[in-house]
Amino acid sequence: MTNNFRGTERVTTALLLAAGTGSRLYPLTENEPKCLTMVNGTAILERLVDSLNQHGFKRLVVVTGHLEHKIREFLGTRIGDMSIEYVFSPSYRTTNNVYSLWMAREVINEPFLLLESDLVFDESLLGPMLGPDRMAVATMRPWMNGTYVTVNQSGQVRSIMVGRADFVAENRYKTVNIYSISLPAWRRIGEKLDQHVAAGNVDDYYEIVFAQMIVEGSLSFNVVSFDGKAWYEIDNLADLAQAEELFSSDDSETAKTVVLSRPVILNRETSNAAESRQATAGIPSVTSRL
């Protein structure tokens, strides 16, 4: 089992958001939820659950919506030592992930790992995420869009920007949509989510709430770099094709360069080289500090 975190607040609960319709992956998602999309013969959800099991997670809460019965049938109520619970979001067609996160507010009362159900990644990347209040990020590339963050020299998130960025590599990093959240932070987030939903802002991204809280000083994340090993977010059919090529061998320990229409370059680095590159980028090596 990979476990780079040895502190007393090790996270053992995970919250998986899997309510969306996955419309950009149509027709694959017409009869299957997005998280059951196959990547080289293995469902995204199976990969995620295997990774959580490998890291000793004891509890998984899944927020469901579109074709939720298929997720229940696939997972059941326990896999290995990990119990599995479900929260159904009846408004999944008209709401976004801020609402899914809000739906979990009454069933989670402990530190947890928040992740989304369209991610594939090398399971060893989860190790440094097992401590509280951490955010997974990767170096911005010209082809990336979505949410990005700026980071200070101490490795703390300074700001979160939601939406496509004009590409500026310096001090900007793409979010990987994996967050470790402590219980005090979760309680503060819950209060903000209540306000956000009460105001009718149910079709937003939860990153908007996180961004507001960071500006206010009520939320803080240290970043964990996912550079150097394989990960991919699958939003559409083109992403799926690229993820299948990236994970074609399912051996992301092997150094390789994957030539895609949007280049993804994986380099096997020594720990010293990785730490040097992270320091240059303004991201401290989280693993080396534990």
Q: pLDDT for 263-273, tens place per residue?
A: 222 222 323 33
Average pLDDT over the chain, rounded to an integer = 84
By CB atoms closer than 10 A (0-12, 13-18, 19+), residue 52 is buried
Please, are residues 226 and 134 in contact by the beta-carbon 8 Å criterion?
no
Read off the tokens for 115.
């992740």
Residue range 194-243, pLDDT digits in tens: 999 999 999 999 999 999 999 999 999 999 999 988 999 999 999 999 99
Helix (H, G, I), strand (E, B) or coil at 99: helix
Give me the DSSP letters along 79-91. Answer: ETTEEEEEEE-TT
pLDDT reported for residue 101: 98
pLDDT reported for residue 262: 31
Residue range 68-107, pLDDT digits in tens: 999 999 999 999 999 999 999 999 999 999 999 999 999 9
pLDDT reported for residue 141: 79
**CATH dotted code for 13-289:** 3.90.550.10
pLDDT reported for residue 228: 84
List the domain boundaries for the chain.
13-289
Across 62-75, b (16+ Cβ under 10 Å) vs e yields bbbbbbbebbeeeb
H/E stretch holding 239 reads helix 237-246
Model pTM above 0.75: yes
Tell whether the model's pLDDT for residue 245 goes beyond 60: yes
Listed in sequence order, the residues at least 6 apart from 210 whose beta carbon sits closer than 8 Å to its beta carbon are 160, 189, 219
- Numbers of helices and strands, H then E, in the chain: 7, 16
Cα separations (Å) of 273 from 13, 205, 254, 278? 32, 35, 17, 9
Listed in sequence order, the residues at least 6 apart from 222 whose beta carbon sits closer than 8 Å to its beta carbon are 133, 134, 135, 155, 156, 157, 286
Which residue did the predictor score with more confidence, 42 or 7? 42
